[in-house]
Amino acid sequence: MLRPGSIASLFASRTLFKNGTQQLLKTRRPNADTLSMTAISASILKGNPRSALVILVMSTLSEMITELTAKKTRNYVRDMMNLDVSSVLRVNPDGSEQKVSLEEITEGDYIAVFEGEKIPADGYVMKGMASIDQSAITGEYFPVEVGSKQRVFAGTIIKAGNLMIEVEEVGDQTAVSRIVQMIEEAQEKKAPIQSYADQLSEQLVPVSFLLAVMTYVLTKSWSRVLNMLVIDYVCGIKLSTATAISASIGKAASNGALIKGGEYLEKLSKIDTAILDKTGTITKGKPIVRSIIPYDGFTELEVLKHAASAEEHSTHPIAEAIVAYASERKITLPVHDHERIKQVVGQGVKAWVDNKEVLVGNKAFLTNEKVASNGLSLMDKIDKSNNSVYVAIEHQLAGVVVIEDSIREGMKRTINQLRRNGIDEIVMITGDKQNVAEDVYRELQLDAYHSEILPHQKAEFVKHYKSAGNTVMMVGDGINDAPALAYADVGVTMGGKRTDIAVEASDLVINSDDPIMLADVIQQSKRAMDTIQQNFTITIAVNSAAILLGALGLITPTIGAAIHNAATIGVVLNSTRLLLDKERTKWRQPSASSTIYLVDSA
């Protein structure tokens, strides 16, 4: 007659019995549940329900830890990004404000958001200035300043100021919703090492049954046979690997990096070649004025104010850079004749400033306008950047404005960190001229660069490096990078200016504009793989020792079950540690009005 403890053990393990039996009938192969079911049955038949309870309780505990880690990963970002907004203030065309539910807001609506509130939709600032905590989207610790025409995202918080926002995306279409969906999809994609762990653990189940048979034949001891059944390698290998992958994806997501599956996490740990697009990745993708070189008696101030006045109403990025530089220097611009401005697409602008004809553009434009060629040739020799804007006043060359796309803060440090993480070759590809590319190549001490590359050629370079046996990571942000991102072993998009098509083609999306995140994610992937290898070693070593002790009759089945399950819990907790690791200490970039702060963002 069964004891109450035996009945309780059987009832509590009914799901395990169901799964183990179904697997055996369906595939004719035993699995981990089949082995546990056999061990529990043998314990009860032997009249030792304590062993059965130890097996059940501790194996359930290890599975709970694994599930809790996966759940925490799913909820980590979901909780952080939870809008928790039931109603919003819609601004009507007459300027009045009306409180409505979030579901009533549609694209094109204007909403008002005040200090301390969460922004409920993606959109553009139409009025106001504010300091916004965007850590939920980008992982950036410090708030950012936003103003007119700048984009803002649902789930971010206004720390100071008030905004009127034109709604672009709401509900499931917002960036925050797409991020959560991407994380959930990523957890379903297994890494090769995870599939290997699953296969290995399933293959080891028959070994446990074989050991049990051999032990009975040699010893005739049911106690030792039971030891062979309660001790196995399956749980530790399978559960700890799944937990490590899940925890790493969750940790990366909490820092603003979205890994689209365990497969790419594993590939990141093996990267030995990084190909970086220049504009928008290595550089900020925003031109600025580096210097002004005056000519033939003109002053730097004259060159700048005439160029800025001519370009004042242009939306071209270089024109905006010149006007912004004049504004920074607090220069009052001379009056220009709005009726007589002539834009020449791809070349420059002709304007009349203070009743003088001003030409601002490239060398070919000024040559066509009959500006003396000797001055143009001289300036061409002085300035070899090929990123210069020529300025002529009354058909006399006045000077050049030298433009550059500055390298991102932290990029040099990122390159060094990538090398420390095992990336042997770092290559830059760009459509820019050779001398521009060479300056960046030398400043960052890269291994190689390829300049004047057309968009379709970027993919060819990726294929070339892969064909040489390299594991290649491609980093870009634009439409022209999408083919190369798709061909790479791991395609990465980075920064707030990335395009949707680049995000779709990539395997890793970094929301932050801080390039050091790239090195952090690779380091995270290596930690994950190292942890998985540690878990393999611990599981095999501890359980092999327990099997040997059990076969020699030196431990009881209850102790054997306790050792086996304690090892499983230990390696699962070791994997969970990846989700709890402290983040890198971040430096705030200094500005003219700020001091440097060292902040631990953990």
Q: In angstroms, rounded to a whole number, what is the distance separating the alpha carbons of residues 541 and 557? A: 18
| Beta strand extents in 459-600 (DSSP E only) | 472-476, 490-494, 508-510, 586-587, 598-599
Q: Could you tell me which of 421, 424, 506 has the C-alpha nearest to residue 470?
A: 424
Q: In angstroms, rounded to a whole number, what is the distance separating the alpha carbons of residues 262 and 249? A: 8
Q: In angstroms, rounded to a whole number, what is the distance separating the alpha carbons of residues 460 and 437? A: 19
**What are phi and psi for residue 584, nearest 5 degrees?**
-60, 140
- Rounded to the nearest 5 percent, the helix, strand and coil shares of the chain are 50, 20, 30
Phi-psi sector, 345: left (phi>0), alpha (psi -120 to 50), beta: beta
Specify the DSSP element, H or E, that contains 292. Answer: strand 283-294
Q: In angstroms, rounded to a whole number, what is the distance separating the alpha carbons of residues 192 and 261? A: 11
Q: Which residues contact 231 (CB under 8 A, 6 or more apart)?
A: 208, 543, 546, 547, 550, 560, 561, 563, 564
Q: Measure CA 81 to chain center.
A: 16
Q: Which residue has the tokens 């926002």?
A: 165
Q: In angstroms, rounded to a whole number, what is the distance separating the alpha carbons of residues 418 and 490? A: 15
The answer to whether residue 380 is catalytic is: no
Specify the DSSP element, H or E, that contains 467. Answer: helix 455-467
| Amino acid (one-letter) located at 99 | K
Beta bridge partners of 157: 118, 133
Q: Which residues contact 316 (CB under 8 A, 6 or more apart)?
A: none
Q: Which of 122, 133, 232, 277 is catalytic?
A: 277
Q: In angstroms, rounded to a whole number, what is the distance separating the alpha carbons of residues 345 and 307? A: 17
Q: Is 427 helix (H, G, I), strand (E, B) or coil?
A: strand
Beta bridge partners of 215: none
Q: In angstroms, rounded to a whole number, what is the distance separating the alpha carbons of residues 316 and 348? A: 10
Tokens linked to 40 = 């529990």
Cα Dmax for the chain: 111
Beta bridge partners of 402: 291, 388
Q: In angstroms, rounded to a whole number, what is the distance separating the alpha carbons of residues 53 and 591? A: 63
Q: In angstroms, rounded to a whole number, what is the distance separating the alpha carbons of residues 218 and 232? A: 20
Helices 557-580 + 516-551 axis angle, to 10 = 180
| Residues annotated catalytic, as ranges | 277
